[in-house]
Structure 1
Amino acid sequence: MKIGILIAGHSPENLRPEHGEYDVFFQNLLAGQGFTFQTWFAVDGELPDDVHAADGWLISGSRHGAYEDLPFIPPLEDFIRAVYAAAVPLVGICFGHQIIAQALGGKVEKSDKGWMVGRQVYNFEGEAVALNAWHQDQVVELPKDAKVIAYNDTCPYAALGYGHKAFTVQAHPEFSNGFLGKLAESRGRGVVPDPLIDIAIENTEKPTDSAILARRIGAFFKQKEPQS
């Protein structure tokens, strides 16, 4: 099964030599599940010609806001709506979670709850799941088809399901603790309040449940469309 990765933002330049671009993160996250991958850099205006160029689509995170007036966003939203209409499985992570919601009629804005960085624990349909996060923006109004799958006290729409068509997550299951710690030091200082950065770095000593999300994303991509 071929997964098309749509990169909505480049990884930090100073960390790229060691960690690579974000498509590598997702290939590592989903390794061993029988997928092949092809990458398009949507942030640079690169999009597939056909929604069937892959068997499933994954939209990455980004330093940009889904609501920003940037040239790559309207074409990406059009592609999202076309993928959704064609019922090709679609997964969104962080910015991907937000832009899918926005493209389908929801609303995204900077949360009045502020930054969420580092290890966060979410309620995934009754299961406590710890994942690394890095965001200030949140989905604040749901599209009509969206169902809340995960939440916590500061992120009420932490994961959304759209039937067999889409599955999106606000956190970053693809971020290892090692990468998160380096990101916090190199990009967080001066942007995110220092106490939050300090806690995020301290929490890199604790495990996350990224493997749970890897299996869940893999299962979503492989599910069969319900018969009408």
Structure 2
Amino acid sequence: MASTDPRVSSHRLRRFAVLKTGHGSDYTERAYGGYAQMIARLLRDQDEGEGEVWDIFSVIEGDFSFLEHGGDDYYDGYVITGSAADAHATDVDWINCLCDALVLLHRQGKRLLGICFGHQILARALGGKTGRAEVGWEVGVKSLQVDSEKVSHLYGLAFPSTVRAIESHQDQVLIPPPGAVQLASSERTKVEMFAVGDHVLGMQCHPEFSEDVMIDLINSRISRKIISDGVAKEALESFQTGQADQDLLIVLCKTFLKRCP
């Protein structure tokens, strides 16, 4: 069972930037406000006496105004969301601009958390390689094998060696960035989670997804023939075998973003 890190910052006001890289389905946008709002709501602390500001920047629509604060300590951390876009695309302006921005923030030692596409684009920007997974789509609740010792060393968390997580991707980190430490893997995805130093964390899974969001996404992909009936059936059945360990992953994300240096 995870425990919160005692080094978590006690600053009264903290600021975080969510970099929106994709749009949710009609249902997700209507019910939850989309991926960026889901992440901000998930990671925001509501404790009495604590103040946090979560700003959202739609980089998919060209909003990179968060860089106006790039040279100071205005933001305590940045979170890059999931997306239907390809992190390995080289002919998309906003993706190329995002890579440049992440390189800059990394050089400044900013705290960067990437989720799914965010995990992949972080790896690419910092010198790794991403691309289509040879095994095809990975969708549903999957078991991750976690290097508990490394997680404990980096973040001060007692973390289990096996974690169930919600997956939804056809791309992967094929080669992690130079200097990266691999923290988790799964049967179909070698690099499920990686860290670079103490300020970069990427995770392929979706701690922000709920079962209804995932089922809506699966049904949408079936109707558009993006995934096969077999992939969809396996994914839907995975929710019947037990819940994903979302609370554990949320603690990891919060501890990474909010611990003291």
TM range (shorter): over 0.9
Q: Which structure: larger Rg?
A: 2
Matched, 1:4 2:26: no
Counterpart Cα distance in 2 of 1:4 and 1:177: 26
Tell me whether 24-33 or 38-47 shows the greater mean CA deviation: 24-33
Counterpart Cα distance in 2 of 1:32 and 1:54: 16
User: Aligned to 2:238, which of 184, 200, 203?
Assistant: 203
User: Aligned to 1:172, which of 206, 209, 218?
Assistant: 206
> 1:60 is aligned with what amino acid?
T
Give the RMSD, CA atoms, in angstroms.
1.5
Q: Deviations over 1:188-216 (max 9, x none)?
A: 44111211111212223431111111111
Counterpart Cα distance in 1 of 2:187 and 2:236: 21
Q: Secondary structure at the match of 2:78?
A: strand
> 2:248 is aligned with what amino acid?
I
Counterpart Cα distance in 2 of 1:113 and 1:50: 41
> 1:116 is aligned with what amino acid?
E
Gaps of 5+ in 1: none
Matched, 1:50 2:50: no
Counterpart Cα distance in 2 of 1:72 and 1:38: 19
Counterpart Cα distance in 2 of 1:100 and 1:24: 20
**What TM-score comes out, normalization by structure 2 length?**
0.82
User: Aligned to 1:62, which of 79, 83, 92?
Assistant: 83
> 1:72 is aligned with what amino acid?
W
Q: CA 1:97 to 1:188, structure 2 compared with 1: closer, same or farther past 3 Å?
A: farther
Equivalent residue, structure 1, for 2:147: 125
Counterpart Cα distance in 1 of 2:28 and 2:133: 27
User: Aligned to 1:36, which of 53, 56, 63?
Assistant: 53
Q: Give the ranges of 4+ consecutive aligned residues of structure 1 lying more than 6 Å apart after TM superposition.
A: none
How far off is 1:27 after superposition?
2.2
**What TM-score comes out, normalization by structure 1 length?**
0.93
Greater relative contact order (Cα < 8 A, sep 6+): 2
Equivalent residue, structure 1, for 2:6: none
Q: Secondary structure at the match of 1:39?
A: strand
User: Aligned to 1:22, which of 25, 32, 35?
Assistant: 35
Is the Cα–Cα contact under 8 Å of residues 102 and 122 in structure 2 kept in the other structure? yes
Q: CA 1:57 to 1:16, structure 2 compared with 1: closer, same or farther past 3 Å?
A: same
Q: Secondary structure at the match of 1:157?
A: coil
Tell me whether 209-218 or 31-40 shows the greater mean CA deviation: 31-40
Equivalent residue, structure 2, for 1:216: 252
Q: Deviations over 1:137-185 (max 9, x none)?
A: 0011121121100001211100001121201100111110111011101
Matched, 1:95 2:94: no
Is the Cα–Cα contact under 8 Å of residues 159 and 170 in structure 1 kept in the other structure? yes
> What is the aligned residue count?
225
